[in-house]
Amino acid sequence: MKPEEGKVEDRDEGVEDHGHYVLRVAAITKARPKRHDGPPQGIFAPEYADRETNYLCKCVLAWLTIQTRHSPYTTLQAGHLRAILNSANLLDAAGYERRNSLRHGITCCPLCLRTLNYEQLHSTIAFEDEAGLGNAATQIEGATRSTTVNLFHLIPLVYSSLEHTPQQIAWGHAICNTRLGQRRCYSLAELQERDLKVGVIREEGIETFGWISEDFQMIRSPYGAVWIQLNGDTLTEEDLVLPGS
């Protein structure tokens, strides 16, 4: 509903959620019957955006799909798509590079910066080659629907604001999506512009190795390494004092 208009039927700018919602989880197996109780309740990002925004988001994702490695499509085949994006000021290659959606003209994951292959948009996620996930079991067919690469939001989705926009979406690794969680994905260019360097203090001097965001949520090195703050400062000075000391 809108504060000044009351209840509305379509989600738009300024709309707020009021009431109680039921999370509808899709069944993985065919044995469990599917439930379709009531209208969508904002579980998926597109439900927060209007029709035009969703359409442009799909166009951006299609454009990025064309520019994945080994894509069967070419930009010459997508003149109509290029025209749509150009009319909406969404054909700025430098902007995609700055946001880490592209790297040297090839679609890449905004978090790890590795370029993406077209096949990864359809292959099932695997964990064998992922740091810190070496003991993860091989995915059994049908146990997960997640592909290796999926929709990636540069700014986390929240109920209070509309973040599902063409400028803030990309393709990214599902595992990178999970690692990022509800944090903003700062690009390397963004952090370099802020020029907040981090380093290690050694006897011979300070050895810098990257740039950190102002909220201390993310550190990036120029070679692709990423550090993400897993937990904020929650302990008090009293918590740090050992009992009996």
Question: Is the same domain home to 171 and 50?
Answer: yes
In a domain, 105, yes or no: yes
Question: Is the same domain home to 90 and 199?
Answer: no
Global confidence as pTM: 0.73
In a domain, 3, yes or no: no
Question: Is the same domain home to 174 and 133?
Answer: yes
In a domain, 244, yes or no: yes
pLDDT confidence bin for 21, thresholds 50/70/90: very low
Rounded mean pLDDT of the chain? 82
pLDDT single digits (tens) 35-47: 444 444 444 555 5
Q: Bigger pLDDT: 144 or 54?
A: 54
Question: Is the same domain home to 59 and 168?
Answer: yes
pLDDT single digits (tens) 64-110: 999 999 999 998 999 999 999 999 999 999 999 999 999 999 999 99
Question: Is the same domain home to 53 and 67?
Answer: yes
Q: Phi-psi region for residue 49, left (φ > 0), alpha (ψ -120 to 50) or beta? A: beta
pLDDT single digits (tens) 168-194: 999 999 999 999 998 999 999 999 999
Question: Is the same domain home to 244 and 136?
Answer: no
Question: Is the same domain home to 164 and 232?
Answer: no
In which domain, by residue range, is 203 found?
187-245
In a domain, 39, yes or no: no
In a domain, 242, yes or no: yes
Half-sphere exposure of 121 (CA within 13 A, CB side): 21
Q: What is the pLDDT of residue 37?
A: 45
Question: Is the same domain home to 164 and 230?
Answer: no
In a domain, 17, yes or no: no
pLDDT at 164 over 90: no
pLDDT confidence bin for 17, thresholds 50/70/90: low
110-146 per-residue burial string, b: 16 or more CB within 10 A, e: under 16: bbbbebbbbebbeebbeeeeeeeeeeeeeeeeeeeee
